[in-house]
Homo-oligomer: A and B are copies of this chain.
Amino acid sequence: MTIFTLLDFIGTTAFAMSGALTAINKKLDPFGVFIIAFVTAVGGGTLRDIMIGRTPVSWMLDLRYVYLIVFGFALAVIFRKKLDRLRTSLSLFDTVGLSVFTLIGLERGMIWGLHPVICIALGTMTACFGGVIRDILCTEIPVIFRKEIYATVCIAGGIVFFVLKQINLEQDILYIITSAFMIAFRLLAVRYQWCLPTLQRN
């Protein structure tokens, strides 16, 4: 197992926990909580796979994702009363997931021979659309459309990735630098509460 796979697993578990917690706060029943955990973890990659025609979608062919989601769901249920104190750790894992999922989407787009602009769209979709589907299933306007610097991190990461790729960096180094950039960007955005300017009509 490579370090990349390990980070992917951490991200999947963190996304499942984030989904489960949102659903618990919405007072869903355990089945609903599990489904929201599931779609938050795999929704972005599933949408990407469907749109590029890579089917059956990834998680159907690798049960380890299902087990990790069950694990993340169980952790969220067990520690649900203490998670306010663990919020910082969870946010860190989520940020790791964000950066790894973006890289997976970028890579998948390149394997499919798509244009860098589309690859960046696929990276962003992989990282962000699990959360979008989670919010829609809970009938909320997706949080990433409203206030946080989140998708912006993926887009910036994608641009950094393609710029660095021009100078023929080794693949491992390229991945590490791009991930580190996204993680730093996201942590700074959370720390200093950066947000995009709003577009007012009046």
Contacts and interface: CB of A to CB of B under 8 A. Distances in A.
B136 A31 contact: no
Contacts of A141: 26, 28, 137-139
Interface string A52-86: 11011100110100100000000001001100000
B28 A146 contact: yes
Interface stretch (A1-9, A112-120, A159-167, A177-185): A112-120
Nearest to A195: B29
Interface string A21-33: 0011111111111
A62 B198 CA distance: 30
A145 B29 contact: yes
A79 to B, nearest CB: 11
B81 A202 contact: yes
B151 A31 contact: yes
Contacts of A66: 117-118, 121
Contacts of A51: 46, 50, 55-57, 60
A146 B29 CA distance: 5
A63 B121 CA distance: 12
A32 B146 CA distance: 7
Most chain-B CB neighbours within 10 Å: which of A32, A118, A201?
A32
8 contacts: A28-B145, A31-B145, A51-B57, A63-B118, A81-B202, A132-B137, A138-B141, A139-B141
Given A29-B147, A81-B202, A137-B141, 18 more contacts: A27-B198, A28-B145, A29-B146, A29-B196, A30-B197, A31-B152, A32-B145, A32-B146, A52-B55, A52-B56, A56-B112, A60-B114, A63-B117, A63-B118, A132-B137, A136-B137, A137-B142, A137-B145
